Homo-oligomer: A and B are copies of this chain.
Amino acid sequence: MRTLFHFWLSPSSRKVRIALGEKGLDFEMQVEKISDRRPEFLAMNPAGDIPVLVEPDDGPILADQNAICEYLDEAYPEKPLLGSDPAERAETRRLTAWFDNKFNSEVTENLVGEKLIKRYLGWGYPHAPAIRAGLQNIHYHLDYIAYLAERRNWLAGDDFSMADIAAGAHLSTVDYLGDVPWDEHPEARLWYSRIKSRRSFRPLLSDALPGNPPPSHYADLDF
């Protein structure tokens, strides 16, 4: 069986879960606490990071979220997630990187990282100024989503793509904390409601961390 080593509220793990779902591929999940630095896990990924995907039938062991997602699109090309020509694919990758890098460092790390991941990994306590920065920065990103969604069918163009997956993966972790100001960003909310109703996204909406339940609107398709 295909196995994904992951953590529930890691956006990069969620990205791979959604991509697997879009491709219609079955997989089982195993939670990996990276701070344990298990030798068997480090042997699979010397970088020590999740996600890691182990393909079935002695297939490859894949590490790095971007490498895994690109692999899935190459090995299972039906229903492409990057676009059809090089320029379209560059636009999808630019926006995917926007969320994986810029949104991640400006928003996700400051909110999900500070409030949840730090404690889970035993890396200390939340840093209040970082949380304030994250709550500020998210407005600009929701405006950018609205700007794109008003001009295009999906974020990178006509088709649902890896850019929507990356944006949805990150926003869903922040939404789990109840920190997305949806009321002030109706266009971004409209785009996110389309993401939420995709079959590939549904499993994420039933994630629930012991002691850290999500707010009631988290799994609600009509939020």
Contacts and interface: CB of A to CB of B under 8 A. Distances in A.
A70 B59 CA distance: 24
Interface residues of A, number: 25
Interface stretch (A84-92, A127-135, A168-176, A194-202): A84-92
Chain A interface, DSSP helix/strand/loop, else mixed: helix
Interface in A60-76: 60, 62-64, 66-68, 70-71, 74-75
A7 to B, nearest CB: 18
28 contacts: A46-B144, A47-B94, A47-B98, A47-B102, A60-B87, A60-B90, A62-B94, A63-B94, A64-B93, A64-B94, A64-B97, A64-B98, A66-B66, A66-B93, A66-B97, A67-B90, A67-B91, A67-B94, A67-B97, A68-B90, A70-B89, A71-B86, A71-B89, A71-B90, A71-B93, A74-B86, A74-B89, A75-B86
Interface of A: 46-47, 59-60, 62-64, 66-68, 70-71, 74-75, 86-87, 89-91, 93-94, 97-98, 102, 144
